[in-house]
Amino acid sequence: AQKITQTQPGMFVQEKEAVTLDCTYDTSDPSYGLFWYKQPSSGEMIFLIYQGSYDQQNATEGRYSLNFQKARKSANLVISASQLGDSAMYFCAMREGGTGGFKTIFGAGTRLFVKA
């Protein structure tokens, strides 16, 4: 069965510093994709970044980058130059490919606190 693990329930980071949020996954499907989402206190889910299993390069979107290590089955999110507005819950998610739909599951999340 596929699985997503986020081992850090909470993280603190100083404003303007970089922070890494961990995510490991488990799947036997060779075709899969990994997402990161941000959920601020307002509750909306904000898409941050996506990495396909066949993508050769690590995905980047502005201050967000995904450190994809396929052999280790990890997909850590790196946020550079943290801002106070980055304080939120962060979820890692994985979708598998296939003819029977694209099952997409989420991890338990990491709450990030950015300190001024």
Partner 1 sequence: DVKVTQSSRYLVKRTGEKVFLECVQDMDHENMFWYRQDPGLGLRLIYFSYDVKMKEKGDIPEGYSVSREKKERFSLILESASTNQTSMYLCATIRLSGHTEAFFGQGTRLTVV
Instruction: Sort 79 into a burial class: Cβ within 10 Å, 0-12 / 13-18 / 19+.
Output: buried
Interaction between residue 12 and partner 1 (CB under 8 A): no
Interaction between residue 87 and partner 1 (CB under 8 A): no
Interaction between residue 47 and partner 1 (CB under 8 A): yes
If the CB atoms of residues 24 and 104 are measured against partner 1, the closer one turns out to be 104
> Which of 27, 87, 95, 96 lies at the binding interface for partner 1 (CB under 8 A)?
95
Stretch that binds partner 1, among 16-24, 44-52, 69-77, 78-86 (CB under 8 A): 44-52
Stretch that binds partner 1, among 14-22, 24-32, 43-51, 75-83 (CB under 8 A): 43-51
Instruction: Sort 101 into a burial class: Cβ within 10 Å, 0-12 / 13-18 / 19+.
Output: exposed
Three-state DSSP class for residue 44: coil
Q: CB 50: neighbour CB atoms within 10 A?
A: 15
